A and B are shown apart, each in its own frame.
Chain A
Amino acid sequence: MVAEEIGLNDYLEANGVEPVETDLGEYIIQLRHEPPSHIIAPAIHVNKEEVADAFRAAHTHLPKERVLEEAPTLLAEARKILREKFVAADVGITGANFLIAETGSTVIVTNEGNGDLTQTLPKAHIVLGSIEKVVPTLEDAATILRLLARSATGQEFSVYTTFSTGPRRAEDADGPGAFHVVILDNGRSRMLGTEFQEMLRCIRCGACLNHCPVYGAIGGHAYGWVYPGPMGAVLTPWLVGLEEARDLPNASTFCGKCEAVCPMRIPLPKLMRRLREQEYERKLSPPAARWAIALWAFAARRPALYRLGASLAAQILGALGRRTGRFRTLPLAQGWTAGRDFPAPQGRSFQSLWAERK
Chain B
Amino acid sequence: MSAREEMLGRIRGAVGKGRAPDAARAVDARLAAHQTNLIPARSQLAPEAKIALFETMAREASATLTRISASSDVPEAIARFLKQENLPSRVAMAPDSWLGGLGWEKQPLLSIRRGRAEPSDDVGVTVAFAAIAETGTLMLLSGPDTPTTLNLLPETSIVVLRASQVVGAYEEAWAQLRQVRNGEGGVVAMPRTVNFVTGPSRSADIEQQLQMGAHGPRRLHIVLVDE
Chain A interfacial positions (CB closer than 8 Å to B): 22-25, 28, 41-44, 47-48, 51, 71-72, 74-75, 79, 82-83, 86-87, 101-103, 105, 111-114, 116-117, 119-121, 131, 136-140, 142-143, 145-146, 153, 155-169, 171-175, 183, 185, 189-190, 192-193
Contact = CB atoms under 8 A, between A and B. Distances in A.
A82 B215 contact: yes
Given A41-B205, A192-B11, A172 B188 contact: no
B31 A163 contact: no
A83 B196 contact: no
B152 A117 contact: yes
A114 B188 CA distance: 27
Given A131-B7, A137-B34, A193 B169 contact: no
Interface stretch (B35-43, B66-74, B80-88, B101-109): B35-43
B30 A136 contact: yes
6 contacts: A28-B205, A43-B206, A103-B187, A111-B203, A156-B135, A159-B201
B214 A75 contact: yes
A241 B207 CA distance: 34
A48 B204 CA distance: 12
B15 A192 contact: yes
B216 A163 contact: no
Nearest to B217: A113
Given A138-B174, A159-B202, A103 B188 contact: yes
A82 B193 CA distance: 22
Interface in B104-145: 115-117, 119, 134-137, 142-144
B198 interface: yes
B197 A160 contact: yes
Interface of B: 3, 7, 10-11, 13-15, 27, 30-31, 33-38, 40, 57, 60-61, 115-117, 119, 134-137, 142-144, 147-149, 152-153, 169-171, 174, 187-188, 190-209, 211, 213-217
A181 to B, nearest CB: 12
B7 A189 contact: yes
Contacts of A163: 190, 193-196
A240 to B, nearest CB: 18
Contacts, number: 215
Nearest to A162: B195
A112 B148 contact: no
A161 B196 contact: yes
A264 to B, nearest CB: 13
A83 B14 CA distance: 45
Contacts of B117: 174
A194 to B, nearest CB: 8
A101 B196 contact: no
B10 A169 contact: no
Contacts of A24: 203, 205-206, 214
B195 A160 contact: yes
B31 A136 contact: yes
A120 B207 contact: no
B204 A41 contact: yes
A172 to B, nearest CB: 6
Contacts of A44: 208
B115 A173 contact: yes
